[in-house]
Each structure stands twice: as structure tokens, then as C-alpha cells.
Amino acid sequence: MSCDVQKLREDFPLLRQTMRGKPLVYLDSAATSQKPRAVLDTLHTYYERWNANVHRGIYEISDLATQHYEAARAAVARFIHAAEPAEVIFTRNATEAINLVARAWGDANVKAGDVILLTEMEHHSNLVPWQLLAQRTGARLEFIPLDGQGRLDLAAAEKFFNDRLRLVAVTQMSNVLGTINPVAAIIRHAHAVGAVVLVDGAQGCAHIASDAQKMDCDFLAFSGHKMCGPTGIGVLYGRKRLLEAMPPFLGGGEMISVVDWREFTWNHTPWKFEAGTPAIAQAIGLGAAVEYLEKVGLDAIHAHEDTLVRYAWEKLHELPGFRPYGPPPDERGGLVAFTLDDLHAHDIAQFLDQQGVAIRAGHHCAMPLHKKLGVAATARASFYLYNTTAEVDALVAALRKALTFFGIETKTTVNV
Ligand code: 7TS
């Protein structure tokens, strides 16, 4: 299947709604995506027909719940080309997946004087867990700097690739700049000095075909809700050898093999990392989401978003005072963060809300990056498989109205 966007939109009931009496133009999929009927139906079916706890019942519906839960794990493993389903751990979201690695792998493997290498474009979720690990261990945080166009300046980070480097944690795609990073090259370089690499796939995996084995990452973290799945479910992919050597993250039911008063033995990977009753319905819903995305095709989705972002780039540049952040469309995914003259990003977003256009404004959980960019906040339009060029036109028309409303229509275009 390819991206027949008009047909595809029929799969997403929420998109039929109006907002403020106007047709809803949803341009905030980088925050969370909308859900197709196939996912909503799966959640419904789960609760109506299979709802029981997993891995413990001896009766039929518990068996069904377990089978569907584990089938979802297998579907996710296939989606990211993991070597086997045991390398897929269900978490709450990408944030929890990253924290799991920082705690379970980090505490056991990182010591004072080691270097943890991040980038200047990381979301707080791929920054704060490493700050906490550095505080616990005495490790040092270093950052791959950005060049003037919001790309990673790998030459400037060359000095960090030595035997002190223990971990590189890098985003596959920036949620602000849109930059798609050369993660495979970074991984090769890090492995050459014996470092482990975590890829934050929260933005990437939803939009770009991601092959964990080809990428050769050690860990890959992502969130179900950004890829047509339910909230409350995320994934940590881990190389099996590393997962097996790691202690558990949380303790409780499910993650044990045998428990005595003063000690316990661990269950096998992945259940070792899934303490307590997991998000069963949500995991099964995520399984339906990845099957839906596979049917449309990640390459078709990426090509569609590429068309949208190129179109948006051209049209937005016609607005006086439009200033985008990050590289040109060739090197970015389907989002554009920008400022418009000296309008505050929140004023822009609030005005657009009145026009039925939903975008995000703020620091997008990347405060240090915004500091580096020299702006307190940006407005961000982000696209997914269900967006259209007509919606880009609606965005541009609404921004034009905002310029008129705030009395800024005559200034010249600023191209950056
Ligand atoms: N990493 C990146 C690159 C992200 O964009 C986000 C969420 C996360 C991690 C965390 O994902 P979570 O599901 O665990 O919260 N980014 C955004 C955003 O850009 N707007 O809202 C959430």
C-alpha cells in the first residue's frame, strides 16, 4: 500500500472533528499521533474478549491475553528488525526505556571519569537520565556540538572518541530541528573505541524504517503513542548479550524466577525487566499499530512526509519574518520549528487554535537546545501520514492572518 492520504484519513476517526467550529488541522504528531480504527478496534476487542492477566492464568482467556501480548512483542521485533522478540522490552514510553538503561546498564558499567557523550539537540528524556547517572557515578557528560544549520558537527566531537568513552546516547531525529542524524556512522565510530550506543528513536521509529541490526545500535528506545499506538506503552530494544548481563530495573511480580524471604532469582530477558502487571491492552494495541504502519509502508510514509515538509518549507518562506530552525528539507524529517517575526510562539499557537490549526509552542522539552538557538520558544508544525498539502495551506493562511492580526504584514522575508 502507498500513502493514498485521502483514503488513509478515513482510518482516523478523530480527524473528522472540528476545532473551534473549523475543520481540525492536526499538526502536532511529534507530540503524539492520532490512532487508526485498527488500533481502537484492537483495544476494544481486547477488553471485550481477551481481558485477563498475562503469564499466570491456566484458563483460556488468560492464555489468549498472553498469546496476544507476546504476539505484539514479536510484531514490534519484526518492525525494528530485532534478532529475536526477547530483545524487545515493553516499558511505559521512550523516557522509561532510557531510564531503564541509565539505571540497569549505567549503574553497573559506568564509573567516575568515564565519558557519556550526548548531543546538543537532545530531548530532556535523553539528557536528564544521564545527568542523574553522572551524579551517581562521577562520570562526565560531553556533547556533540551543532553546526550553524542544526546538524551534528562530528569532526568537533572527534576528541571524545577514545577509551574513556563508555556510552553515546543520540537521537535518531530531533524533535525541534527535524535533523535526521547519521546514527549508523556514529555507532560504528563508538564501537571502534568500545563504547555502547543508545539511540533515542522517539521521533525516528515512527517515521523512518528502522533496522536495529543494520544500525547496529545496542539500545533503541521509542514510544507507542507517537506511532499510531496507545499511550502508556513504549519499547526498549536491547542487544541480547547486554540485556542478559544487566540486573533488573524494578522489582516485583513477573520479573522473578524464584523468591525466598531474603533473596530472589531473576526471570529471563525480557520479562526480567517487566515487573508487575504490564500494559497488556496497550502493548497489544501497539502490535496493531506497527502492523498498520507496515501495511502503509514506512518508506511511503517517509516519502509522503518529505513531500509535505518540502511544500511547507517553500510556502512558509513566503511569510515575512519566517525563521526556521534546523537544516533544509533534504536533511530533515516531517517537522518545522520556527519563529515568526517577533511574535511569541505561544501567541502564534493560540491564534492558530482559533483557526482550527493545532501546533505546539514552547521549548519542546529541549531547553538547553533553545538556549543554544538563542530563543525562549519556537512554534512547531509536525506532519504524519494523514496530513495533506491542503493542511499546509491552512497553516500558512492562518499564520498570514496572525501576522495581520498582530500588525506585522509588511516586513521583508528573512531567510536563514
Ligand atoms: N525523545 C524525543 C526525541 C522526543 O521527541 C520525545 C517526546 C521523547 C524522547 C520522550 O517521549 P515520551 O513518549 O517518553 O514522552 N517529544 C515530545 C515533543 O516533541 N512534544 O511532546 C513530546
pLDDT digits (tens, 9 = 90+) for 20-55: 999 999 999 999 999 999 999 999 999 999 999 999
Strand 25-26 and strand 219-223: the pairing is unpaired
Question: Rounded to the nearest whole angstrom, what is the distance from the C-alpha of residue 122 to the centroid of ligand 1?
Answer: 10
Question: Rounded to the nearest whole angstrom, what is the distance from the C-alpha of residue 168 to the centroid of ligand 1?
Answer: 18
Task: Give yes or no for residue 382 having a pLDDT over 90.
Answer: yes
Q: What pLDDT is stored for residue 414 in this prediction?
A: 41
User: Alpha-carbon dihedral of residues 151, 157, 162, 163, nearest 10 degrees?
Assistant: -70
Candidate from 226, 359, 370 with most ligand 1 atoms within 8 A of CB, to mutate: 226
pLDDT digits (tens, 9 = 90+) for 253-310: 999 999 999 999 999 999 999 999 999 999 999 999 999 999 999 999 999 999 999 9
Helix (H) or strand (E) segment spanning residue 325: strand 322-325
Of 223, 175, 216, 177, the closest CA to residue 197 belongs to 216
Say if ligand 1 is within 6 A of residue 207 CB. no
Measured by CA distance, the residue closest to atom 20 of ligand 1 is: 31
The residues assigned a catalytic role are: 365
Question: Rounded to the nearest whole angstrom, what is the distance from the C-alpha of residue 229 to the centroid of ligand 1?
Answer: 14
Question: Rounded to the nearest whole angstrom, what is the distance from the C-alpha of residue 202 to the centroid of ligand 1?
Answer: 6
Omega prior to 23 cis, within 30 of 0: no
Q: Note whether 372 and 211 are within 8 A (CB).
A: no
Topology of domain 5-30+297-405 in CATH is Aspartate Aminotransferase, domain 1 (3.90.1150)
Say if ligand 1 is within 6 A of residue 93 CB. yes
Say if ligand 1 is within 6 A of residue 175 CB. yes
Topology of domain 39-295 in CATH is Aspartate Aminotransferase; domain 2 (3.40.640)
Q: What pLDDT is stored for residue 1 in this prediction?
A: 45
pLDDT digits (tens, 9 = 90+) for 114-127: 999 999 999 999 99
- Domain limits, the chain: 5-30+297-405, 39-295
